[in-house]
Structures are given as structure tokens and as C-alpha cells.
Amino acid sequence: MTVTHVVFFLMAAFTVGASLLVVLAKNIVHCAIALVFAFFGVAALFVLLDAEFLAAAQVLLYVGGITILLLFAIMLTSRISAGGVKIMNEQVGISAVVVLAIVGLLAYANLKGFPALVPPLTMADNTASIGKLLLTTYVLPFEVVSLLLLAAMVGAIILARREREKD
């Protein structure tokens, strides 16, 4: 048990706990808060994997962007006081079984026959090399994705816009 192991298990437990809260909490606002913690946990795991840039992006985008967006949506749509209402639909039982089956099968596959990969001890400068790759090899997808973002932005504006009065 090295320090890394300890940190990994701690972060893993933290993330899984937060995620469970996201899915199971009754109050939708609590879910959103739990989601923030789950994102933080994943960011920490990224750091553990020497992906500092991604960790930063994760915090900025998910925690800073998407969660805020979600919170806005919640406030605009839900009556927060709506307690006691069922939050799950009727297929909880069967869903649980199916999901457990998937998780079990994949985990089994993982443990059964996966080659033990030995990672290199150090990585090259993460942020710099990502920057280089994005502007050289992956410049086309990069541009395409920026176009996608633009389209999503326009689409979101049009969808969310209040329809003009009929006359």
C-alpha cells in the first residue's frame, strides 16, 4: 500500500459516494451539489493520472459551467418544496438488476484477462503537449468541435427563447 494507493482509494470512495448521492438524493438541488463533489473527485483522479490540464478543464467546465447551468435549470423549472413526490419511476428494480449485471460483467472481464500494463514513470509536460497536438494533428476536429459549440449555443438560445406573442 503506497501513498498513491491510499489516495486512489480515498478519492474513488469519495467519487462513488458523491455519485450515488447524485442518483439517489430526493432533493434535486442536493443532487446538483453532490454532482459538484463527484466532478471534483474525478478531477483529483485525473491529477493522480498525471493529467493536470484535464483536471483543470474538468473543474472549470464541469464544476464551473455545467453545474451552474444545471442549477439554473433547476431553479427555473422545479418547485423546490415539492417534497414527498416520487423521484424514481416504476422500473427501479429491474434497472438495478440490469445495471448490476453490466457492472459485474465488465468488472469480471477486467479482472479476468487484462494484461498488466506498466506505465512509464514520468510523463512529458502535459499541458504543452496537449496544446501542440490540438493545433497540429488534431486541428481539424478542434475546429469542427468549435463549430459544434457555436451551433449548440445558437440552438440553445433559439430553443430556450420565449415564443413571441402571437400578435
Partner 1 sequence: MDMKLVALVPLLPLIGVLINGLFGAWIKERAHLIAVTAAGLSCLVAFVVFFQTLGGATLDWDVYPWLNVGDLKVPIGFLVDPLSTVMMLVVTFVGFLIHVYSIGYMHGDRGYARFFTYLNLFMFSMLMLVLANNYLLMFLGWEGVGLCSYLLIGFWYEKKSAADAGKKAFVVNRIGDAGFILGLFFIWTTFGSLKYTEVFAAVNPELGVGIYTTITLLLFVGATGKSAQLPLYVWLPDAMEGPTPVSALIHAATMVTAGVYMVARSNALFNLAPFSLEVVAWVGALTAVFAATIALVQNDIKRVVAYSTISQLGYMFLGAGAGAYPSAVFHLGTHAFFKALLFLGCGSVIHSLHGEQDMRKMGGLRKAMPITTWTFLLASLANAGIFPLAGFWSKDEILFNAFVRGLTIPWLLGLIGAFLTAFYMFRLFFQVFTGHFRGDHHTAHHLHESPPNMAYPLLVLGVLSVIAGLVLGFPPDHGLYHRYVAPIFEVAHESEAVVEHAVSAATEHAAGASELVMAAVSLAVALAGIGLAYLFYVKRPDIPAALADKLRGLYNLLLNKYWVDELYEAIFIHFGKRFCGFLWVVDARVVDGAVNGSSWLTMRLSAISSWHDMKIVDGLVNAIADLIQGGSFTLRRLQTGAIQNYILAMALGIVGMVAFYLFL
Partner 2 sequence: MVPLSYYLILSVILFGIGMFGALTRRNAVGILMALELMFNAVNLNFVAFSRYLPQALMQGQIFAIFVITVAAAEAAVGLAIVLGLYRNFQTINVDEINLMKW
Q: Residue numbers of the site for partner 1 (CB under 8 A)?
A: 89, 91, 94-95, 98-99, 101-102, 105-106, 108-109, 112
> Are residues 142 and 134 in contact, defined by beta-carbon separation less than 8 angstroms?
yes
21: number of Cβ within 10 Å: 16
Q: Which amino acid is it at 83?
A: G
> Are residues 56 and 39 in contact, defined by beta-carbon separation less than 8 angstroms?
no
126: number of Cβ within 10 Å: 16
Verify binding: residue 131, partner 2, rule CB under 8 A.
Answer: no
Q: Which does 133 bind (CB under 5 to 8 A by kind): partner 2, partner 1, none?
A: partner 2
Verify binding: residue 120, partner 2, rule CB under 8 A.
Answer: yes
Verify binding: residue 128, partner 2, rule CB under 8 A.
Answer: no
Verify binding: residue 23, partner 2, rule CB under 8 A.
Answer: yes
Please enumerate in sequence order all residues whose Cβ is within 8 A of that of 143, keeping only pairs 6 or more positions apart, or say none: none
CB of 108 to partner 1, least distance (A): 7
Interface residue with partner 2, options 10, 14, 37, 57 (CB under 8 A): 57
